[in-house]
Amino acid sequence: DTGVSQNPRHKITKRGQNVTFRCDPISEHNRLYWYRQTLGQGPEFLTYFQNEAQLEKSRLLSDRFSAERPKGSFSTLEIQRTEQGDSAMYLCASSPGGVQFDEQYFGPGTRLTVT
């Protein structure tokens, strides 16, 4: 399968624990995006990478959140000291870049439940 993959697909954690999610974009896509989707809502933008550079970070991303994309390939999203309000679907997308309106391809998401 050559689509965007995310791991794990589901994560249940206790409040206060740290969690890390991984996203593997489509090969040679140099743009990568993280979104968060809560129940009944559309996705909300979290952050954006162009290759390894994190070019934008939403105000939704508190200091407990950090994202990296070493070497411009896979990306990780870490949440420290999780809170119940962090429970959501975390979606990753990638796009090839290089054209004005390049299409974003979404992964299956990681569903986080904080108990």
Partner 1 sequence: KNEVEQSPQNLTAQEGEFITINCSYSVGISALHWLQQHPGGGIVSLFMLSSGKKKHGRLIATINIQEKHSSLHITASHPRDSAVYICAVRSGSGGSNYKLTFGKGTLLTVNP
Contact mark string toward partner 1, 54..73, x via CB under 8 A: --x-----------------
In the complex with partner 1, the residue whose CB is nearer, 79 or 93, is 93
Q: Is 34 in the site for partner 1 (CB under 8 A)?
A: no
- Say if residue 35 is exposed, middle or buried (CB neighbours under 10 Å; 0-12, 13-18, 19+): buried
Q: Among 2, 40, 59, 71, which residue sits at the site for partner 1 (rule: CB under 8 A)?
A: 40
**CB 107, CB 3: distance < 8 Å:** yes
In the complex with partner 1, the residue whose CB is nearer, 44 or 52, is 44
41 contact partners, CB below 8 Å, separation of at least 6 = none
**CB 115, CB 14: distance < 8 Å:** yes
Q: Which residues bind partner 1 (CB under 8 A)?
A: 31, 33, 37, 40-45, 48, 56, 89, 91, 93, 95, 100-109, 111
